[in-house]
Amino acid sequence: MITRIAMLFRGWSRAQWMLRAAVVAGYLGALLAAAGIPGAGQPATPWLVVGLLAALGAAVVPDSSAGSLAGVLVLAHWAIAAVGHPVTALGPSAVMGAFGLVIAHLAAMLAAYGPPGFSPDRGLVILWLRRGALVLVPSVLVVLVVRAAAAELDGRHWVWGVAALVVISLAAAVTLALRSMRTG
Amino acid sequence: MNDPAGWRPTAALTRAVIVGLLALGGAVVLQIPVLVVLGLPLMLLAAAGLLHRPRSEPSAVVRMARDTLREGATTPVGVEVTGHGVEHVVHAVTRPAYAVMKPPSGVVSGLVADEVPPVSAAVKRWGPVTVGDGAVGLTSAWGAFRWGPKGLHGNPVLVLPAPATYDVNASVPRPVGLVGAHRSTRVGDGTEYAGTRPFQVGDRLRRVNWRVSLRTREMYADTTHTEDDAGVLLVVDALAEFGTPGTSSLDLAVRAAAALAEQHVHDGDRVGLRVIGGRGQVLAPGAGRRHLRRLLTVLAGTVAGRVDGPLRAGARSGDVVVWLTPLLSMPLAAAVAATADRGVTVLVIDTLPANVEHEDELTAIAWRLRLLERDAVTRALAASGVPVVRWRGPGTLDEVLRRLARQPPRVRAR
């Protein structure tokens, strides 16, 4: 068993090691960023252990469902930490959490593009860095808009506002995608 | 969508959909907006990937520039991908035997828009080989769908023996025929002065040596050597292979034969080939670049193997027979001697590699005994007038050919 694991690691290129490290760092960073919510402390040890195990699973087998489990764990931890702080949770730490999730997701995706010895080509990495930055923009906008309008938001109204932002973001993404498809 | 031969959703798409939907659903149901911030990027990635879903089955084929190579020459192995929605290609090429790849892993990748770089393969040993076996994996835009990895069949490539550095300054002894670049031992129509003799009926007037004729008061004419072509028969010993593949006796024999063939065809000689052992290929003497190509092709297909029955070179009178052999087969040594006894000019190129590794001490002792027998065979051949030389590249045969040219014609043994 140990030999098989060692063989598995030996086949990884330097780029694969870096990508897989980014997967672990991304998920753990997203988990730890929840500590930035006012009133929320560091994640409990069980959360960290389970999150670390799921992140390691996603790093070792990036095209498995371990990544989904790690992402859901991050969401669950954030949901628990943000209970009672629906608006104040929307701070820089939320953007950091989204950033961690995107980093982990993209790193796992790049690692799974080819065989274990595969090193992503420069063009692919640049393409995904651009895309990663692009998809983070709506999250930042949501935080900024909600925080700016925090005084007017009460009760469930913020839900409709956020839903409207999501719909607008999705519509914009669809429009851009259709335009790029038409232009070939 | 689940067709193993077709496009399948990637783990990244599944992950983005699951995490994104849970984030949105959780945000609405639990009234926690921060979940939207966390899940929105993944939802956008999933949406973009689904919108760019490929609509047709792609195809990928190996593309190579050449179907024949020289030993050590590099050939690019590329993949040509057609189909809608392909954004990225990963191409992995399996390393053929005796080949060096660049990159060493044989894995290249690239965006379709940027052209996928080829893998460079250099085969270091002559012979037929399949280059380009491997696999290809395609990914759609936004990393949402994957096709493959699917096996790719390479192309058969014939690796011709490397043109080993070789040249010869001496002429092939006793050429026959009526055209060519070598000075014949016969006197006839040519340009190189042979001597002056009394005029005979049939001599051309332009051959009359007027200075000698005036001085002696008798008609004298100059004679010239004819310029003839030569027949060279290369006999390759493929009865067995000694040494490590790549530097074995057969490798040396094939490369030396290729070098000899190339040099003599270049000089305008007729070159024939006979492989003793293995497939036992025979190629009748011929000249020209097309014939050289045939010679190299036959040499590239040489394999080692035993043969039953008597061994014969099949040389014609007037040929120069070059045996390329490690001289470890007694029947073959007897065949060399028999060829020489027929009055044919024979020389032997020793192709036994300097270092032959052995599995154990017992084999090493047996090998030393075998080498002693071989030395005795070599001495016996030399004593009967058959020169044996080690292949050492340029000038290997110069001295031997000059010596043979000075010798009187061999008398046929009866």
Count of all residues that appear for chain B in the document: 414
What's the gap in Å between the CA of B13 and the closest CA on chain A?
A: 9
The Cα A174–Cα A180 span in angstroms is: 10
The Cα B403–Cα B406 span in angstroms is: 5
Asked if B15's CB is within 8 angstroms of A71's CB, the reply is: yes
What's the gap in Å between the CA of A1 and the closest CA on chain B?
A: 25
Asked if B90's CB is within 8 angstroms of A118's CB, the reply is: yes
Q: What is the pLDDT of residues B323-368, one digit of tens each?
A: 999 999 888 999 998 888 888 888 899 989 887 877 788 888 998 9
Size of interface A-B (CB pairs under 8 A): 180
Indicate the range of B19-28, B76-85, B143-152, B218-227 predicted with least confidence: B218-227
Asked if A101's CB is within 8 angstroms of B19's CB, the reply is: yes
pLDDT for residue B1: 40
Nearest residue to B145 via CA among B265, B34, B357, B3: B3
Name which of A120, A138, A146 is nearest B40 (Cβ-Cβ): A138
ipTM: 0.85
The chain A residue lying nearest B149, using CA atoms, is A114
Per-residue confidence in pLDDT tens, chain A, 184 aa: 677 767 777 778 888 999 999 999 999 999 999 888 877 777 788 888 999 999 999 999 998 889 999 999 999 999 988 887 777 778 889 999 999 999 999 999 999 998 888 889 899 999 999 999 999 998 888 888 777 776 665 555 666 666 666 666 666 666 666 665 555 4
Q: Which of B18, B44, B146 to mutate to test the interface with A (most CBs of A within 10 A)?
A: B44
Beta strands in B83-237 (DSSP E): 86-93, 99-102, 107-111, 119-123, 127-131, 134-140, 145-152, 155-160, 182-188, 192-198, 220-228, 231-237
The chain A residue lying nearest B116, using CA atoms, is A121
What's the gap in Å between the CA of B38 and the closest CA on chain A?
A: 4
pTM attached to this predicted model: 0.74
A19: which chain B residues are within 8 Å (Cβ-Cβ)? Answer: none
With a CB-CB cutoff of 8 Å, which residues 34-93 of chain B face chain A?
A: 34-45, 47-48, 51-52, 88, 90, 92
Asked if B107's CB is within 8 angstroms of A115's CB, the reply is: yes
B51: which chain A residues are within 8 Å (Cβ-Cβ)? Answer: 173-174, 177-178, 181
Nearest residue to B203 via CA among B233, B228, B232, B224: B224
Q: Mean pLDDT for chain B?
A: 84
Query: Concatenated DSSP letters for A37-51?
Result: STT--SPPHHHHHHH
pLDDT for residue B390: 86
Question: What type of residue is B53?
Answer: R
Residue B27's pLDDT band (cuts 50, 70, 90): confident
pLDDT for residue A12: 84
Map tokens 């140990």 to a residue.
A2
- What the block records as the tokens of B145 is 């769908």
pLDDT for residue B200: 86
B8: which chain A residues are within 8 Å (Cβ-Cβ)? Answer: none
Task: Please give the residue that has the higher pLDDT: either A169 or B279.
Answer: B279
Q: Which of A13, A27, A162, A170 to mutate to test the interface with B (most CBs of B within 10 A)?
A: A162
Name which of B32, B52, B111 is nearest A86 (Cβ-Cβ): B32
Name which of A64, A90, A118 is nearest B33 (Cβ-Cβ): A90
Residue B372's pLDDT band (cuts 50, 70, 90): very high
Burial B7-30 (b: 16+ CB within 10 A, else e): bebbbbbbbbbbbbebbbebbbee
Interface contact A88, partner B, CB < 8 A? no
Please report, rounded to a whole number, the percentage of residues in chain B having pLDDT higher than 90: 33
Q: Are A103 and A27 in contact (CB under 8 A)?
A: no
Interface contact A160, partner B, CB < 8 A? no
pLDDT for residue B177: 47
Q: Are B135 and B227 in contact (CB under 8 A)?
A: no
B29: which chain A residues are within 8 Å (Cβ-Cβ)? Answer: none
Determine the average pLDDT of the residues in B153-164. Answer: 85
